[in-house]
Amino acid sequence: MTTGLTIGKLAEAAGVNIETVRYYQRLGLLNEPTKPSDGYRRYTPQQAKQLRFIKRAQGLGFTLSEIGGLLRLDSACMCADTREFAARKLAIIEQRMADLVAMQEALTDLIRQCDAGDGGDACPIIEVLAAA
What pLDDT digit, counting tens, does each position of 48-63 carry? 999 999 999 999 999 9
First to last CA, the chain: 72
Per-residue pLDDT of the chain (132 residues; tens, 9 = 90+): 457 899 999 999 999 999 999 999 999 999 999 888 878 889 999 999 999 999 999 999 999 999 999 998 888 888 889 899 999 999 999 999 999 999 999 999 989 988 887 767 788 888 888 886
102 by DSSP, 3-state: which? helix
Give the C-alpha distances (Å, rounded to integers) separating 102 from 15, 79, 95, 120: 36, 35, 11, 28
- Distance in angstroms (rounded) separating the CA atoms of residues 89 and 69: 12
